[in-house]
């Protein structure tokens, strides 16, 4: 990593700045936010009582979260601004949009929560994560969060999972990202199949927005041919091999159908592309144009692997498709979508958000807002350990934390440990075994939970030696 990259990494890893610009309107609330954020940063997966350490600090944290003057958008204002600033230093950014559900257990009903696709109660969060479109796919931060609580699920089948009006979240996510970036950097919006909407495609094209959206609905062309049929018959322009990440089986049946479990594997993909006109669906408002001319890229896996379904993506895009490099670029933009799935894991496993025992939607949303930058930092740290293996560990951890890791690690660390060495040492504190592959969010969370306890003991021992 060059010196410029190191300085940028250092600025990204300074978590305190993510809360400085928060719009809470009161210096006391701002100070309390900083104290609470730093406590949770030290113990991302710890419960509030454990993270706050004293009864007085815990009660102050609860008062802050319950305060009607404190809001999710207010807390996140600083992170949004910092994310936009990081994005402004890039030539191009990807705005990856996706929805996840937050499920909370317990026998009682929590105030303000609603039913989910599976069992339990909770709410849905729609996130827009900015990602640098380079080989590292660096997460730059969250630029928008929308939440929605459903009062009931309508009927049965897939339509029951998308109540009327909820699809507007995709358009709003685009608008919020564009507004907060304020033309400082070109943006390409990336969405999975849930973003496949004729209305959305029309609005994005009309407003000049750039996108890569995977098609998930049956589409007809202006000549009456099915979109899938036209794409399947197109000539392959280029073949390439990509590494597909492992996907665990989801606990919710609806999600398992959309994203079935698979083992990580090397896949050979055939890519083709063409300009096609899709026809307005019968249910669509007649004020919409009768047809839309869109570039489509078709991605299909050349060889199958046992019972696992082969890759088959139909991608609608505004990006050029004239040559093989253009087509591959579109595919790489879409492949960056997995970063937001990793971000959700960081929130749910690394920060243990769904295990929180708060009893109302207001307190849960305020806590979510505090954890959003922390989860981003955890994801970035893991990305640094994977992709910037030679970066010095001082970019991620304090000198005292490094001294502790040197003292307690089973494997001796080098005199000047790298980020990767340090993060593996933290994961080992959480029970990670190197032979099991890369550390997951659960062991990282446990490791970061253990580190502050060891750090306090280390400091106490040092003071005792000096007395």
pLDDT digits (tens, 9 = 90+) for 150-208: 876 554 444 444 455 667 999 999 999 999 999 999 999 999 999 999 999 999 999 99
Listed range (25-39, 111-125, 389-403) with the worst mean pLDDT: 389-403
Gap between the Cα atoms of 420 and 390, Å rounded: 7
Gap between the Cα atoms of 406 and 200, Å rounded: 53
Listed range (63-72, 288-297, 307-316, 330-339) with the worst mean pLDDT: 307-316
Strand, helix or coil at 99? strand
- What residues have CB less than 8 Å from 180, skipping those under 6 apart? 80, 81, 83, 84, 143, 144
Strand, helix or coil at 142? strand
Is residue 261 scored above 70 in pLDDT?
A: no
Mean pLDDT for the stretch of residues 88-99: 96
Q: Does domain 391-460 have CATH number 1.10.740.10?
A: yes
Q: State the pLDDT confidence band at 94, using cuts at 50, 70 and 90.
A: very high
- What residues have CB less than 8 Å from 361, skipping those under 6 apart? 110, 111, 112, 113, 123, 149
Instruction: Classify domain 3-380 by CATH architecture.
Output: Alpha-Beta Complex (3.90)
Is residue 455 scored above 70 in pLDDT?
A: yes
**What are the helix (H) ranges across 352-411?**
361-387, 399-408
The tokens describing 317, both together, are 């895009």
- What residues have CB less than 8 Å from 353, skipping those under 6 apart? 102, 347, 367, 368, 371
- Residue pLDDT, tens place only, 357-376: 898 999 999 999 999 999 99
CB 144 within 8 A of CB 76: no
Gap between the Cα atoms of 65 and 159, Å rounded: 35
* Structural domain boundaries in the chain: 3-380, 391-460
Mean pLDDT for the stretch of residues 65-71: 95
Distances in Å between the Cα of 267 and the Cα atoms of 88, 242, 255, 256 are: 34, 5, 22, 21
């Amino acid at each position: 990593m060059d010196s410029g990259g190191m300085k940028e990494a250092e600025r990204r890893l300074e978590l305190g700045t993510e809360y400085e610009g928060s719009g809470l309107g009161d210096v006391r609330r701002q100070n309390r936010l900083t104290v609470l954020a730093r406590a949770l940063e030290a113990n991302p997966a710890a419960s509030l009582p454990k993270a706050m350490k004293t009864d007085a600090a815990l009660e102050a944290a609860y008062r802050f979260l319950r305060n009607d003057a404190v809001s999710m958008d207010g807390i996140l204002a600083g992170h949004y601004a910092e994310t936009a600033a990081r994005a402004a230093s890039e030539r191009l950014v990807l705005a990856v949009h996706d929805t996840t559900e937050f499920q909370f257990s317990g026998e009682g009903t929590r105030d303000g929560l609603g039913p989910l696709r599976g069992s339990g109660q909770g709410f849905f969060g729609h996130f827009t994560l900015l990602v640098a479109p380079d080989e590292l796919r660096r997460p730059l931060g969250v630029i928008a969060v929308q939440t929605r609580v459903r009062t009931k699920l309508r009927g049965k089948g897939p339509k029951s999972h998308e109540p009327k009006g909820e699809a507007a979240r995709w358009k709003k996510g685009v608008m919020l990202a564009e507004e907060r970036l304020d033309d400082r950097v070109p943006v390409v919006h990336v969405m999975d199949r849930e973003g496949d909407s004729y209305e959305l495609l029309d609005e994005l094209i009309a407003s000049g927005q750039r996108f890569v959206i995977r098609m998930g609905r049956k589409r007809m062309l202006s000549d009456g041919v099915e979109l899938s049929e036209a794409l399947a018959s197109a000539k392959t322009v280029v073949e390439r091999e990509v590494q597909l990440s492992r996907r665990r089986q989801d606990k919710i049946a609806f999600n398992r159908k959309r994203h079935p479990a698979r083992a990580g594997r090397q896949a050979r993909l055939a890519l083709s592309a063409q300009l096609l006109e899709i026809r307005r669906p019968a249910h669509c408002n007649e004020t919409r144009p009768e047809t839309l001319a869109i570039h489509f890229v078709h991605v299909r896996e050349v060889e199958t692997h046992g019972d696992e379904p082969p890759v088959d993506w139909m991608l609608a895009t505004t990006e050029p498709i004239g040559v093989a490099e253009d087509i591959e670029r579109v595919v790489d933009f879409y492949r960056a979508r997995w970063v937001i799935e990793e971000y959700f894991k960081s929130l749910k496993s690394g920060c243990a958000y769904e295990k929180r025992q708060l009893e109302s939607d207001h307190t849960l949303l305020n806590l979510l807002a505090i954890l959003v930058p922390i989860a981003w930092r955890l994801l970035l740290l893991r990305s640094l350990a994977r992709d910037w293996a030679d970066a010095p560990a001082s970019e991620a951890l304090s000198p005292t934390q490094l001294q502790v890791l040197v003292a307690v690690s089973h494997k001796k660390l080098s005199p000047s440990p790298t980020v990767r060495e340090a993060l593996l040492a933290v994961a080992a504190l959480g029970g990670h075994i190197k032979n099991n592959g890369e550390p997951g969010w659960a062991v990282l969370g446990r490791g970061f939970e253990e580190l502050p306890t060891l750090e306090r003991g280390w400091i106490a021992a040092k003071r005792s030696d000096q007395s």
